[in-house]
Structure formats: structure tokens, C-alpha cells
């Protein structure tokens, strides 16, 4: 529209009375034209809406028919069943939750629901999170017991894999009601299917459950191949249990956490390939356990051994040979006689000709002591080492790692109070130079075959130290270039290390640097996912940081 008022449009200019009359005269013939255009737009909008509606209806019909001929609909039931099985968690049992496992698959459609119910193996894995205790024990586990029994029925005759996890809030929140407490979930729901137990992990906080377990014979639990039991503080006082079912010929893995003088004697030791013993005793008990345990001499097939001690003292027996042992983890949480060197004395009495992996955890004394007892041949054969990085200086590190010429994977674990200084000292010692600090061998290089270094604890290593270390290892003719370098840095990011080490990264170096601030810990009410990696009460582990988590020795393969 041509207008003589173009210069004052969209301004704050106030037109005169004469100009107002001209504006009214200018707009008078334009209003009918605007009304005509509005009518035209409305007609076109109706046509467009009809076209869009017809398009959407046709598109929906086409998609519905295409779905009928989609490849997924033509997948045979047996193949679809295998796909369903691959949706289950691979590192743990399936939580009794609607958003994972078979309960999630059943929500897709009626066909999937029917197929899910027809595949017993989908229901044979159960992670059972016991809820907190409350003032009405008769109702406490009613819903959970019903759900567990429903899963066991659907699992039919398939061997069961069960893990019972006690809530962190599993303590009375009100005075218990009078009378006997109701039977536990073990008695009512799990014991009737003992003949189907394949793997079971139990957290026992009621001594009556131990009496019930003593009634299960090896014949009753003939499919049992993995058994793990943890006694809570309230059950540690029990002493008369034997657990005869551990004599099942199929048992290959055993984990026991409880009193040292109540270690079950019923397993067929020669059949075990993995053994975990986490032992403790009361402060009033003064008798000495014999170490190495005499039954270890019968464990001729043992490949993995985890031993940890709390408030224990020992007398030491004869040397035991474990001919097939490849991995051993030792820990001493609270020692009553720190000067004896329990782990040192134990390693001195274990003959392990095929040992490849060694882990030392939460030791009261220096880590160097036990390693001196490995012997030159055993030290040279170690390929994987995890140690607490504390009370270590340069000479100690060189003495410890010098004999480990075959070491491929080194993991340092320590709280923030120790690792910042020790991590830097380790890097200095592992950085090859032309001079030998000890003066014994100018060409000596620590751990020439080292390919993986993990610093699983907060440190303040600078970018300069990291770059110098990685480049020196890559350039030295007697060392293998590192394939993985992982570290937790309790500082802000200083620069782009990936860019500065682009040539090494391109040459297959995996560089994982975690800049981790302190994260708050918030508790929430009990969840069916408690005890899994999806537990809402724990600090989430980011993708790529799983290596920071210590393995749970009580969890069986």
C-alpha cells in the first residue's frame, strides 16, 4: 500500500488534525480489501486442514500396514526369545522392577507378554532387595514374597540365579510387635525351590535362617554351582551351623563372610575354582587360627582366591601349594597385631607357580612387606597388580616393581590423603631415564612391559607430568607404549591433553582423565533397584568411569 506517511510510520510522531483526516481517507478503501483477503485465507485454511488430515490418516494407515510386514514381526519365536534373553543385565541378576527385564518386555504388547511368559529363563534371575523393617512384620514382606513366588513359578524347572540384598535402612523404625516374627523370605519363598538353586547369594540377619539352611542337603541342592553368604552383625553369634548343601558336587564357587571359626567344612574343596573368605572375630576371642587354612591344601583346582581379615591373629602352619591359582586378593582391615605382618607370613607359605594377578587391599602396614615374600620367579610372572598407594617412597617403589618385569597392568588405589604425592612419585619412578637412581644398573627400566596404568583415587598430577611420562614410555626402546592411562584428577582441567598427545592417541593410546568434584550423597527410600548399578541412592558412575569401581569379591561370576 502506497502511503504519503511512510516517513513517520512506526515512530512516536503525533499527526495534525488535517493529517488524521487524510489517514482516515487513505484507509477507508483498504478495509474491504482486507476483509476479502481474510475470507480467502479462511477458505484456503479449510482446504489445507482437510489435506493435512487426509495425509495423516493415509500415512497412519500405510505405517500400520507396513508394520504388518516388518521383519521384526516375522522373527520366529525361538529367535525372538534369544533376543529377549540378551536384554537382561549381564553383570548382575535382574531386579524385580517394572522398568527392566521380563516385566518391561511384557508391557510392549500382548504378543510379547505371552512370549515372555513362555520363556522360563527370563524369570530365572532375581535381584531381591529386602525392604526396611517396620512396625508390622506380618505385612513387611508380603508383597515381595508374592512377587518372588510368581517369578519362581514362571521360571519352571530352570536353575535359578538369586541375590538377596538387604536394604541399608534395614533396621527397626518402631518397636517390634509382640510375638514371634514371621518366617523370612528364605523360608517361605526360596527354600521350596532349593532343588533349582544354581547361584544364590544370601544376606542372613536371622539366626533361624541358618538352622533352615542346615536342613538343605547336597541332594536337595544338586544344581548349586555358586553360593555366597554374608552374615550380618545380628547373625554373627551363631556357631552351630554346617551348611551341608555346600557338599553338592556341582559347587564350583564359594563366598563366605562371617566368623573365622565357623567356616563351613562341608564343601568338596577339590572342586572349587573360586573361593572368597571375608573373616572376622569378636574382640574377646583370643584363640589363633592356623594360616594358611589347612583345607587350602585340598583346593587343587582353585584359580581365584580372595581372603580378608578383620581383628584376627594367627599361628602359622606349613606351606600350601595351589598349583592352578592364577589370581589372589588379600586384605587386612583391622589387625590386632600389626607388627606380625599377617599377609607377609601368608604369602611366604603359599606356593603359587601359576600366579598372574595379585591384589592387596586396605593394609595396616607398608605394602612392600608382603611383596618381598613372593620370590623372584613369582614376581616376574605377575601381570596384574592392584595395591594401596600409601607409605611408599621412590626407593620402596623401585624395590617393589623392580622384579616385576612381566607386569602389564598396574592399579593404584588410595584415599585422597595419600595418592596426590604417591601418584607423582610413581610416575617419576616409571618414567625411563638414562640414569639409574640406585646406581646399580644404568640401563634398568621399571616394568618394561607395562601397558595399563590406573590411578583410582584423587590426585593433583599436572599435565606436564602426565605428558612427560607418556612420551618417555612411548619413546624409550626398552618399554612398551602405554595402551591405557586412567587417572582421577582432583583439580580443574588445565588444557587439552588429547590434542597435546594426539600422535599417541592416534597410535591407540586410550587416555581417560576424570576431573571429579566432590558429589553429595542423598539417601532415598528403599527401591527394588537397591544394590544394583541403577540404585538411586548411590553416586552415579559416569560412562567411561566404570574402571574406578572396586570389584565385590562376594559377587560370584
> What percentage of the chain carries pLDDT values higher than 70?
87
Nearest Cα neighbor of 160 from 108, 88, 224, 68 is 224
Q: Average pLDDT for residues 498-522, to the nearest whole number?
A: 82
CA–CA separation, 363 and 390 (whole Å): 10
Say what the pLDDT of residue 434 is.
Answer: 65
pLDDT score of 177 more than 50: no
DSSP 336-367: S-TTT-HHHHHHHTEE-TT--EEEEES-SS-T
Say what the pLDDT of residue 365 is.
Answer: 66
Residue 259 corresponds to which cell in the numbers above?
A: 566368623
DSSP-based helix, strand, coil % in the chain, nearest 5? 35, 20, 45
pLDDT score of 8 more than 90: no
Instruction: Please give the helix or strand (H or E) that residue 53 lies within, else none.
Output: helix 30-68
Residues contacting residue 233 through CB under 8 Å, at least 6 positions apart: 205
Q: Kindly indicate the confidence band of residue 318, based on its pLDDT and cuts at 50, 70 and 90.
A: very high
Say what the pLDDT of residue 517 is.
Answer: 63
How far from 134 is each of 139, 181, 501, 527, CA to CA, in Å? 9, 12, 57, 15
pLDDT score of 91 more than 60: yes
pLDDT score of 504 more than 90: yes
351-403 pLDDT, tens per residue?
A: 999 999 999 987 666 788 888 888 899 999 999 999 987 767 889 899 999 99
441-466 pLDDT, tens per residue?
A: 544 789 999 999 999 877 888 899 89
Nearest Cα neighbor of 255 from 224, 287, 288, 292 is 224
Q: Kindly indicate the confidence band of residue 343, based on its pLDDT and cuts at 50, 70 and 90.
A: confident
Q: Kindly indicate the confidence band of residue 196, based on its pLDDT and cuts at 50, 70 and 90.
A: very high
**Do β-strands 314-316 and 327-335 pair in parallel, antiparallel, or remain unpaired?**
unpaired
The SS3 call for residue 183 is coil
pLDDT score of 436 more than 60: no
- Cell 644398573, located at residue: 441
CA–CA separation, 137 and 177 (whole Å): 8
CA–CA separation, 128 and 165 (whole Å): 6
Sketch out the chain's domains with CATH numbers.
Answer: 383-517 (3.80.10.10)
> Taking CA 195 as the corner, what is the angle to CA 190 and CA 197, rounded to the nearest 5 degrees?
60
141 burial level (CB within 10 Å; 0-12, 13-18, 19+): buried
CA–CA separation, 114 and 288 (whole Å): 59
The SS3 call for residue 72 is helix
60-87 pLDDT, tens per residue?
A: 999 999 988 888 888 999 999 999 999 9
CA–CA separation, 466 and 501 (whole Å): 10
Amino acid at each position: 500500500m502506497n502511503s504519503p506517511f511512510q516517513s513517520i510510520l512506526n515512530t512516536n510522531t503525533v499527526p495534525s488534525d488535517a493529517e488524521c483526516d487524510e489517514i482516515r481517507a487513505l484507509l477507508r478503501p483498504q478495509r474491504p480489501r482486507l476483509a476479502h483477503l481474510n475470507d480467502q485465507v479462511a477458505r484456503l485454511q479449510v482446504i489445507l486442514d482437510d489435506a493435512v488430515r487426509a495425509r495423516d490418516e493415509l500415512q497412519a494407515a500405510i505405517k500400520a500396514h507396513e508394520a504388518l510386514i516388518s521383519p521384526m514381526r516375522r522373527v520366529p519365536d525361538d529367535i525372538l526369545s534369544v533376543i529377549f534373553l540378551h536384554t537382561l543385565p549381564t553383570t548382575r541378576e535382574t531386579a524385580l522392577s517394572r522398568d527392566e527385564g521380563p516385566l518391561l518386555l511384557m508391557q510392549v504388547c500382548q504378543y510379547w507378554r505371552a512370549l515372555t511368559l513362555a520363556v522360563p529363563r527370563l524369570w530365572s534371575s532375581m535381584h531381591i532387595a529386602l525392604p526396611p523393617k517396620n512396625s508390622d512384620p506380618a505385612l513387611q514382606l508380603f508383597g515381595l514374597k508374592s512377587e518372588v513366588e510368581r517369578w519362581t513359578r514362571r521360571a519352571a524347572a530352570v536353575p535359578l540365579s538369586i541375590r538377596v540384598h538387604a536394604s541399608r535402612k534395614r533396621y527397626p523404625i518402631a518397636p517390634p510387635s509382640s510375638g514371634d516374627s514371621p518366617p523370612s523370605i528364605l523360608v517361605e519363598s526360596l527354600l521350596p525351590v532349593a532343588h533349582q538353586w544354581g547361584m544364590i547369594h544370601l544376606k542372613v540377619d536371622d539366626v533361624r535362617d541358618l538352622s533352615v539352611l542346615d536342613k538343605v542337603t547336597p541332594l536337595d541342592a544338586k544344581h548349586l554351582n555358586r553360593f555366597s553368604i554374608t552374615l550380618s552383625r545380628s547373625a554373627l553369634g551363631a556357631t552351630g551351623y554346617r551348611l551341608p548343601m555346600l557338599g553338592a558336587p556341582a559347587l564350583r564357587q564359594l563366598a563366605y563372610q562371617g566368623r573365622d571359626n565357623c567356616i563351613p567344612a562341608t564343601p568338596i574343596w577339590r572342586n572349587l575354582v573360586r573361593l572368597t573368605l571375608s573373616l572376622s572375630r569378636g574382640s574377646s576371642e583370643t584363640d589363633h587360627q592356623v594360616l594358611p587354612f589347612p583345607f587350602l591344601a585340598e583346593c587343587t583346582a582353585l584359580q581365584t582366591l580372595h581372603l580378608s581379615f578383620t581383628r584376627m591373629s594367627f599361628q602359622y602352619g606349613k606351606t600350601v601349594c595351589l598349583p592352578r591359582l592364577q589370581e589372589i586378593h588379600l586384605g587386612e582391615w583391622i589387625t590386632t597385631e600389626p607388627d606380625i605382618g599377617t599377609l607377609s607370613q601368608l604369602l611366604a607359605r603359599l606356593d603359587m607357580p601359576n600366579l598372574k594377578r595379585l591384589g592387596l587391599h586396605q593394609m595396616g602396614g607398608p605394602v612392600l612387606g608382603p611383596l618381598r615374600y613372593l620370590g623372584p620367579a613369582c614376581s616376574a610372572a605377575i601381570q596384574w597388580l592392584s595395591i594401596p598407594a600409601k607409605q611408599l617412597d621412590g626407593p620402596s617403589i623401585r624395590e617393589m616393581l623392580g622384579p616385576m618385569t612381566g607386569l602389564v597392568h598396574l592399579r593404584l588405589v588410595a584415599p585422597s590423603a595419600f595418592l596426590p604425592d604417591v601418584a607423582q612419585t610413581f610416575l617419576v619412578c616409571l618414567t625411563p631415564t638414562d640414569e639409574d637412581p640406585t646406581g646399580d644398573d644404568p640401563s634398568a627400566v621399571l616394568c618394561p612391559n607395562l601397558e595399563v596404568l590406573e590411578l583410582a583415587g584423587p590426585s593433583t598430577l599436572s599435565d606436564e607430568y602426565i605428558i612427560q611420562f607418556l612420551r618417555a614410555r612411548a619413546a624409550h626402546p626398552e618399554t612398551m607404549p602405554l595402551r591405557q592411562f586412567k587417572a582421577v584428577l582432583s583439580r580443574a582441567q588445565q588444557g587439552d591433553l588429547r590434542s597435546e598427545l594426539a600422535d599417541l592417541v592416534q597410535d591407540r593410546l586410550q587416555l581417560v582423565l576424570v576431573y571429579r568434584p566432590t558429589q553429595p550423597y542423598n539417601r532415598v527410600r528403599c527401591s527394588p533397584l537397591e544394590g544394583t548399578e541403577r540404585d538411586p541412592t548411590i553416586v552415579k558412575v559416569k560412562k567411561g568411569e566404570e574402571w574406578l569401581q572396586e570389584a565385590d569379591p562376594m559377587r560370584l561370576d
